[in-house]
Amino acid sequence: MKDFIIPWGDDRDMGTPAKKGAPVSLMIDGFEVTVPEGTSVMRAAAIAGIQVPKLCASDNLEAFGSCRLCVVEIEGRRGTPASCTTPVAPGMVVRTQSEQVKKIRKGVMELYISDHPLDCLTCSANGDCELQDMAGVVGLRDQRFAAPEGGMRTHFATRDTSGQENPEYTPKDTSNPYFTYDPAKCIVCNRCVRACEEVQGTFALTIEGRGFESRVSAGGVGDDFLSSDCVSCGACVQACPTATLQEKSVIELGTPTRSVITTCAYCGVGCSFKAEMNGDELVRMTPYKHGAANRGHSCVKGRFAYGYATHADRILSPMIRASIDQPWREVSWEEALGFAAERMRGIQAKYGRKSVGVITSSRCTNEETYLVQKLARAVFLNNNTDTCARVCHSPTGYGLGQTFGTSAGTQNFDSVAHADVVVVIGANPTDGHPVFASRLKKRLRAGAKLIVIDPRRIDLVKTPHIAAAHHLALRPGTNVALVTAMAHVIVTETLYDADFIKQRCDWDEFQEYAEFVSDVRHSPEMTEMLTGVSAEELRAAARLYATGGNGAIYYGLGVTEHSQGSTTVMGIANLAMLTGNIGREGVGVNPLRGQNNVQGSCDMGSFPHELPGYRHVKHADVRAIFESAWGVEIDPEPGLRIPNMLDAAADGRFKGLYCQGEDILQSDPDTHHVAAGLAAMECVIVHDLFLNETANYAHVFLPGSTFLEKDGTFTNAERRINRVRKVMAPRNGYADWEITQMLANAMLKAEHRPLWHYTHPAQIMDEIAATTPGFANVDYAMLEEKGSVQWPCNDANPEGSPIMHVDGFVRGKGRFIVTEYIATEERTGPRFPLLLTTGRILSQYNVGAQTRRTQNTIWHAEDVLEIHPHDAEVRGVKEGDWVKLASRSGETSLRAHLTTRVSPGVVYTTFHHPTTQANVITTDFSDWATNCPEYKVTAVQVGLSNGPTDWQESYEAQARLSRRILPAAE
Amino acid sequence: MTNPAPVAAPARLAEIEAIIAAHLWREGPLLPILHDVQAAFGFIPSDAHAPIAAALNISRAELHGVLSFYHDFRDAPAGKHVLKICRAEACQAMGGAAMSQAVLDTLGLDWNQTTRDGRVTVEPVYCLGLCACAPAAMVDGKLKGRATAQTILAELSA
């Protein structure tokens, strides 16, 4: 299948944003054009195919009208108005090219050029410079503002005419690892400042000074880009028409010559990017403006942190070893796969069919995940398949499945632009889902209200031009009590939407639920002692959500990763049903998915009890579909979940594991337990880019391919199936789906069973569509045509489903479920008086395997422990001190950071670095329904320490020993 | 109007908070706050930045943009007297350049400098709206038409 290469002209800049309104017709250069009311003359001209010259306008920013290059003549109006700031009017007659405007434009360009260095041939923006383009368009051939004899000082010469240091010259700011700011090239069009404000919403940039002294400035006096509030999202670099803000990669590698649309492999937002290439070298990643999830925006990870793909640590040859105390031996693919197949078969022969299993990856494509679970079901002939969603959003799947009937979010991301009240629960979008956060902040600046429910004061609570109406800083582990108390307020104050409930839900079930939540023990006044949230504040928040218009709930792992994670998800669903906030734009219940394809990996049947499409393996009719497609008999018994696999391994009943693109040792809770389980296995096959922590316990290492090296699809948090396109050949030789197929075939061949014969992921998608109702109409041809589609996409929803449950719930009637609060077993006491909660940070991603191998480490080189100054003071801990963090499970040490972001009694850290291994602290308590680990609540003690703990040192030593690789045999 | 006496930092913070609180109700409180802060301390001390940005919920970049746009907002105390001399066209045509040079030479200063004893700061200004009486100057907020080096210097030593 051909790669989809878009022509450059396809995403041209229309000058000003699209508007919605009644149609207005006007004449531009003799052509009639009809556009929505409120559209600028510039955009109307662009729609008619006429590009009015411009410098300060861009269609992702509101018109600014400063460059004066886009002037036009309008019949009956005096002067030459700027086309970007002039809205269309019915019957308007516009001339974009008259003698008068041509002269004005040339004069304007002449002034720009008089104050701009003319080193175009060696400039990094050569060929990609709008100033250059516009000089060409207006036909500038000369500039009359010559310096007087003897020369003249300019702002872009390092020395003045007498050879002295030029005080007006400001050197390049190279502090950001990914782009430079060169004031010499700046034309002060304000696009970067406006992009930072309007698109990203960080307000890190400004124009300092005035007149000739005007310069872009990051932060205040003495700041550079790195020390400013800049989050390195790249919006300013994208907006810059010249070389002023320029990617370092372009400076080094030159301007790209072709581009391929693909999907980011970081978080669950699933941004579309253009991979801009020279040959097979990636020059830069730029956000694709027609990407439906990101609408042309990006964050530091997707935009810049792709360097891991070519990092020296990447393993490119398969490796094997007989036991984990030996060094690795590089071998051929054939030998590695033969070794793996033989061992897995041997284990099954000796310990039984169910003694082996797989873990699918939320970072790989749908097609790859589908194949891995198929490997378990059709080759291993058991249901021992699980995925990292187990440890993040499995409660979402269960909770929303039970209440609404689908295991996914209800909205698309565009929906947030129509929300009036946004509730963010246990999520930190500005760090975890930055592009969604920018879209949310845009809506909040336009007037929507925000309620934050989180133990920490996350950035959204107060950030320039955004302030939460309510921040309910609850005690970790009390989500259910708080959500039920909100329902109590809504029910007892009769703020619920009775019509919606009668129409869409079961009224009797509601009655029962209403009676339950109305009990006085669920009142905010009673739960205040438990949650630490003031009753008055909670009541106000509940009233706002119930009565403030479109109410949208966005939640993250702070909801799911608890012993009552599934209960909280149901509680959230209850709130949405109570208030009728389901089934239209601007409302809904939306899990913010952690990884790029965690939605997809769940959809693809990665769970031990579900075949693709969330259908239980106990149903014979469902099994029959796959049995006929795969030609095998499928085990009707659910298989093992990850924690069960590890328990069974410790008991000697589970001996072989194929783990694709996941680092369970670092990411799963209670590291000691995971390590013991892995060490007890006889064949651990790790399929990854790097020798990750799990690989320390592996016998076979299969090198993986990056998202740049393969075709496939990712499904993001809004159920959007996005294409991933191969932009370069896999450096390891094979795409991951090919490797899984080779492993399957190595086993099938030995067993004289029919082999798999996929030659392209499109064929795998066809198989998925043929077997899974929600994907019935999905194929690659459709994705080429539409760009992306949101499941369900079948005969009932041929165009896909941006918003779900529009006319009724998927399960029929929405189901209210009683949500009784049961405190976690993990409690603070004299030995462990503090509560640890964990999370992530903007610049790092998950276990950090990718981002730690990029320059993102400049922002976050190590995990630190956030601790309230009061808690720090009684322990004698000062800023930057090494502290020991201990729980019932284990201990580690890291540096302390004193902050009031966390409440007294709560400490917080991230889990991005294996040297800290925050998960050695976390316990094996988990969600009652899905076993999702309780990462968010661990009772801990913090004390001063001298450095790494004994455990950290012995772990380091073991890891070093385990990572030895013998030189390849000749 | 001469400059206020220096205030110690802790007392200053309390005063800054009071100034901010007095203006927060306004629709555009930033400029009135900055004016009052400058009136109270003679300049905008850098320790006022964080409280102002926090109270108005703006970024420090935005505050910097405003502060650096208006030359009259100072980041350090000026001399006891502030002399502004017009350098715009009408004043230049009426001998303003020679007049200002004479003043600067007498004081031993360049533009935007303050005498060592902290007595006088000289700043350029582009049009005081007094072109009919050019060359024009302003001493401590008081306009001087048909200014000469002598009259200005006399005013400063008064």
Write the pLDDT tens digit of every residue in A319-345.
Answer: 999 999 999 999 999 999 999 999 999
Whether chain A has a CB inside 8 Å of the CB on B106: the answer is no
Whether chain A has a CB inside 8 Å of the CB on B59: the answer is yes
pLDDT for residue A52 = 96
Exposure of A445 in the CB half-sphere (CA atoms within 13 A): 18
CA distance A887 to A834: 10
Tokens of A330: 């590089």
Tokens of A373: 């679970």
User: Nearest-CA distance from B110 to chain A in Å?
Assistant: 15
Contact A669, A938 (CB under 8 A): no
**Which of A160, A244, A147, A150 lies closest to A195 in space, CA to CA?**
A244
Whether chain B has a CB inside 8 Å of the CB on A217: the answer is yes
Question: Which of B62, B69, B71 has the CB atom closest to A203's CB atom?
Answer: B62
CA–CA distance from B13 to each of A464, A710, B9, B59 (Å)?
22, 59, 6, 19
Tokens of A666: 């670092």
pLDDT for residue A143 = 86
Contact residues, chain B, for A223 at CB < 8 Å? 60-61
**Which of A465, A406, A471, A492 lies closest to A198 in space, CA to CA?**
A465
**Which of A794, A441, A424, A421 lies closest to A580 in space, CA to CA?**
A421
- Beta partners for residue A260, in sequence order: A275
Print burial letters for A721-738: b (CB count within 10 Å at least 16), e (below 16). Answer: bbbbbbbbebebebbbbb
Contact B57 A466 (CB under 8 A): yes
Number of Cβ within 10 Å of residue A631's Cβ equals 10
User: Nearest-CA distance from A425 to chain B in Å?
Assistant: 23
Contact residues, chain B, for A210 at CB < 8 Å? 68-69, 71
To the nearest 10 degrees (0 to 180), the angle between helices A130-137 and A99-114 is: 140
CA distance A68 to A63: 12
Contact A218 B64 (CB under 8 A): no
Contact A219 B57 (CB under 8 A): no
| Alpha helix positions (H), A579-641 | 598-603, 620-630
Contact residues, chain A, for B47 at CB < 8 Å? none
Helix (H, G, I), strand (E, B), or coil: what is residue A3? coil
CA distance B106 to A48: 66
Tokens of A954: 């012995």
B3 band by pLDDT with thresholds 50, 70 and 90: low
Q: Is the Cα dihedral B76, B77, B79, B84 positive or negative?
A: positive
Contact residues, chain A, for B68 at CB < 8 Å? 208-210, 217
Number of Cβ within 10 Å of residue A295's Cβ equals 20
CA distance B91 to B126: 9
**CA A182 to centroid of chain Cα atoms:** 30
SS3 helix, strand, coil % of chain B, rounded to 5? 50, 15, 40
Mutate to test the interface with B, among A170, A181, A198, A206 (most CBs of B within 10 A): A206
Contact residues, chain B, for A466 at CB < 8 Å? 57
Tokens of A556: 């993250």
Helix (H, G, I), strand (E, B), or coil: what is residue B121? strand
CA distance A475 to A875: 21
Write down the ipTM of this complex: 0.90
Contact residues, chain B, for A207 at CB < 8 Å? 65, 69
Q: Is the Cα dihedral A897, A900, A906, A910 positive or negative?
A: negative
CA distance A870 to B118: 45
Q: Which residue of A has its CA nearest to B46?
A: A221
pLDDT for residue A668 = 83
Contact residues, chain A, for B63 at CB < 8 Å? 220
Residue type, B34: L
B8 band by pLDDT with thresholds 50, 70 and 90: low
A625-663 pLDDT tens trace: 999 999 999 999 999 999 999 999 999 999 999 999 999
Count H helices, E strands: chain B? 7, 5
Contact residues, chain B, for A205 at CB < 8 Å? 61
Q: What is the DSSP letter of B4?
A: P
Mutate to test the interface with B, among A192, A208, A217, A226 (most CBs of B within 10 A): A208
Helix (H, G, I), strand (E, B), or coil: what is residue A385? strand
Exposure of A136 in the CB half-sphere (CA atoms within 13 A): 8
Contact B58 A229 (CB under 8 A): no
Contact residues, chain A, for B71 at CB < 8 Å? 210
What phi, psi does A569 have (nearest 5°)? -60, -45
Contact A173, A225 (CB under 8 A): yes
CA distance A453 to A95: 54
pLDDT for residue A2 = 37
**Which of A587, A585, A583, A574 lies closest to A548 in space, CA to CA?**
A587
Whether chain A has a CB inside 8 Å of the CB on B89: the answer is no
Q: Which residue of A has its CA nearest to B59?
A: A464
pLDDT for residue B5 = 65
CA distance A922 to A673: 11
Whether chain B has a CB inside 8 Å of the CB on A465: the answer is yes
Helix (H, G, I), strand (E, B), or coil: what is residue A208? strand
What phi, psi does A812 have (nearest 5°)? 110, -95
Contact A221 B75 (CB under 8 A): yes
CA distance B158 to A335: 98
**Which of A732, A736, A714, A734 lies closest to A724 in space, CA to CA?**
A714
Residue type, A755: L
CA–CA distance from A402 to each of A406, A423, A569, A790, A798 (Å)?
8, 22, 10, 21, 25
Contact A202 B46 (CB under 8 A): no
Tokens of A495: 């703020």
Contact A220 B58 (CB under 8 A): no
**Which of A277, A552, A267, A602 lies closest to A436 in space, CA to CA?**
A267
Contact residues, chain B, for A461 at CB < 8 Å? none
Question: Which of B49, B61, B75 has the CB atom closest to A206's CB atom?
Answer: B61
Contact B57 A467 (CB under 8 A): yes
* Structural fold of domain B81-157: Glutaredoxin (3.40.30)
**Which of A803, A928, A810, A931 lies closest to A402 in space, CA to CA?**
A810
CA distance A827 to A488: 26
Query: For chain A (length 970 residues), average pLDDT per consecutive 10?
Result: 42 92 96 96 95 95 95 95 96 96 96 92 94 95 83 81 84 95 95 97 95 91 93 96 96 94 93 94 95 94 93 94 93 96 96 95 94 96 91 88 89 95 95 95 96 95 96 94 96 95 92 95 95 96 96 94 92 95 94 89 92 93 94 94 93 95 86 91 95 93 95 94 95 95 96 95 95 92 92 90 89 91 87 90 84 89 92 94 91 92 92 80 84 88 88 86 77
**Which of A689, A660, A782, A845 lies closest to A264 in space, CA to CA?**
A845
Whether chain B has a CB inside 8 Å of the CB on A874: the answer is no
pLDDT for residue A3 = 39
User: Nearest-CA distance from A821 to chain B in Å?
Assistant: 37
CA distance A507 to A512: 9
Tokens of A730: 């896999």
Contact A228 B69 (CB under 8 A): no
Contact B61 A203 (CB under 8 A): yes
Contact A672, A890 (CB under 8 A): yes
Q: Please check the confidence at residue B6 and state whether its pLDDT lies above 80.
A: no
User: Nearest-CA distance from B75 to chain A in Å?
Assistant: 10
Contact A287, A302 (CB under 8 A): yes
Contact residues, chain A, for B30 at CB < 8 Å? none
Question: Which of A206, A462, A467 has the CB atom closest to B64's CB atom?
Answer: A206
Contact B61 A466 (CB under 8 A): no
Q: Please check the confidence at residue B158 and state whether its pLDDT lies above 90.
A: no
Contact residues, chain B, for A192 at CB < 8 Å? none
Whether chain B has a CB inside 8 Å of the CB on A210: the answer is yes
Identify the H or E element spanning A656: strand A656-660
pLDDT for residue A968 = 62
